[in-house]
Amino acid sequence: MPPRILTSWRLPATCAALLIAGGAVGALVGAMLAGVTVVALAEIVVLLSLFRHKSGPMLQSSASPHPEYDRLMTRTRRIASRLRDLRSAAGTLPDAVVLLDHSQHVRWFNHAAEELLGLKRPRDRGRLLADLMRNSELAEWLAEGAREPLNDVTAPGHPNRHVTATLLPFGSRQRLLLARDTSHLTRLEQIRRDFVANVSHELRTPLTVIHGYLELLDPEDVPELAPVLDEMRAQSKRMGQIVEDLLTLSRLETQDHVADEHVQMAPLLASLRKEAEALSQGRHTVSLDMATPFDVLGSPKDLHSAFSNLVSNAVRYTPTGGRIAIRWAEAEGGAKFSVQDSGFGIPATHIARLTERFYRVSSSRSRDSGGTGLGLSIVKHVLNLHQARLVIESEPGKGSTFACVFGSDRLLDGARLQEAAGLHL
C-alpha cells in the first residue's frame, strides 16, 4: 500500500501528462502555447523527484512497488523534453514570432522578434504590442485591425530592414504575429526597377533618332521599298510606345502617393469620348453618361492616362459595329468610372492576370491593334495610388466592363466647389 501522499500526487501528474500530450500534437505553435506548461511541468518533475527522494527507501528501490507512478514520471519527462525542444526550435526560427493574448499583450516572443521588431526580454513581456511598435507602420496596421497581411514595411527594430507581417488568430481569442524579413526581396525588386528604368531611358534617345530618320525618308523616292518603310515606321513607333509605357510604370512604382489635385470629371470624360471616337474612326457607337457630379481628388495626368488606356482597349478589342459606353456614376459608397464594350470578351481564367506586365489573352490581337501589353499594369498602379480598385467583368463573345472604383475620401462635390468659388468672386 503506497503512502497516502503518493496517491494524492497521481491525479495532478496524470492531468499534467494528458494536458501536455494534447499540447504536443500541435507542432510549433503548440510549443509556444505550451511554453508556460513546460515550466509548470518541469516544476512538477522536480517536485516529484524531491518527493521520491524524501519518501525514503520504499520508493527508491530498484524494483519499484509503484510501476504506474514510474510510468507516468517517464512519460511526463519525455513530453517535457519534447516540448522544450519545440519551444527552442520556435525560439530560433528566422521569422519573428510573437504570441499575444486576447487584448494584444505580449505573452512570448522569439529571438528574431527581438532583432526585427525591437522587443526586449523580459522588459516587454506583458506589455501592449501597439505601444511597443509606436510610430511604426506596424502600429498603424495593428490599430486598423490587421485584417490583411502587411507587405514590405520598415522593421521597427531595424531601420535598414523590411518585413512582411501577418496576424493569425488561434486558441481562445489569442493572436500570433509573424513577421518575415523581406529585405533581400526588396533589394532585388529595387534592382529590377532600376534596371528597367535605366534600359528604357537608354533606349529612348536612339529610338527617337531612328524614328526621326525614318520620317525623313520619302517612300515615293524608292517605291519598291515603300511597304518595308511603312513596317519600319510602325515598329519603331511601337517600340517608342513600349519605352514610354515602361518609363511611366517605373515612375508610378517609385511613387508612394499622388498630389491631391482637383480632377474635373466633366472635361476629362468629354476628352475621353473624343479620343474613343478618333481611335474608332466611326467603327463603333460611343456613348457617355455622367450620372454623378462628383469630381476626384488626385493626379489629373495619371487618371487621364489610366482611363484612356481602358477606352483605347475597349476600341481595340471590339469588332466593327460594336458599342462602347463610358460612365461615371455613384457606386459602393463612392463612385466608379467604367468602360463597357460589346467586344471579344475575356475567358474567366485570364482575368486575374490581366494587370501583369506584358500579359495578353491573345498576343497577335494585342500587337495587331498596337498594344504594348502594359496598359492595364499602368491602370492598376494609378488606381493603387488613388486607393481605388479595378473591377473586371467579362464574358467571351459578349463583351467586357472595366470599372475603376473610388472611395468617398477621393471624391469632391464639383458643383458645391464651383458654388463656393462663385461666392468668392
| Closer residue to ligand ADP, CB minimum distance, 182 or 313 | 313
Q: In Å, how far are 126, 148, 350 from 36, measured between CA atoms? A: 14, 30, 50
**Shortest distance, CB of residue 163 to ligand ADP, whole angstroms?**
31
Could you give the CA distance from residue 329 to residue 306 in angstroms, rounded to a whole number? Answer: 17
**Shortest distance, CB of residue 299 to ligand ADP, whole angstroms?**
19
Could you give the CA distance from residue 207 to residue 367 in angstroms, rounded to a whole number? Answer: 19
Measured at the CA of 264, the angle between CA 260 and CA 269, to 5 degrees, comes to 130
Element spanning 168, H or E: strand 158-170
373 near ligand ADP, judged by CB under 6 A? yes
Residue written as grid cell 501592449 = 128
Q: In Å, how far are 10, 58, 72, 257, 394 from 21, measured between CA atoms? A: 16, 29, 12, 52, 53
Phi, psi of 227 (to 5 degrees): -65, -35
Those residues whose C-beta lies under 8 Å from the C-beta of residue 207, and which sit 6 or more positions away, are 236, 239, 240, 243
55 near ligand ADP, judged by CB under 6 A? no
Could you give the CA distance from residue 308 to residue 271 in angstroms, rounded to a whole number? Answer: 9
Q: Looking at 251-398, which runs of residues are DSSP E strands?
A: 261-263, 285-290, 294-298, 323-331, 334-341, 389-395
Structure-block grid coordinates of residue 11: 491525479
Q: Which stretch binds ligand ADP (CB under 6 A): 52-60, 97-105, 262-270, 361-369?
A: 361-369
371 near ligand ADP, judged by CB under 6 A? yes
Answer for which of 106, 366, 390, 403 binds ligand ADP (CB under 6 A) is 366
| Closer residue to ligand ADP, CB minimum distance, 124 or 245 | 245
375 near ligand ADP, judged by CB under 6 A? yes
Answer for which of 400, 403, 404, 412 binds ligand ADP (CB under 6 A) is 400
**Shortest distance, CB of residue 190 to ligand ADP, whole angstroms?**
24
Q: Which stretch binds ligand ADP (CB under 6 A): 13-21, 151-159, 272-280, 374-382?
A: 374-382
Size of the site for ligand ADP (CB under 6 A): 22
| Closer residue to ligand ADP, CB minimum distance, 333 or 370 | 370
Question: Which string of x and - marks every residue 303-342 that binds ligand ADP (by CB under 6 A)?
Answer: ------x---xx--x-----------------------x-
344 near ligand ADP, judged by CB under 6 A? yes
**Shortest distance, CB of residue 158 to ligand ADP, whole angstroms?**
37
What are the residues binding ligand ADP (CB under 6 A)?
Answer: 309, 313-314, 317, 341, 343-344, 346, 354, 359-362, 366, 371-377, 400
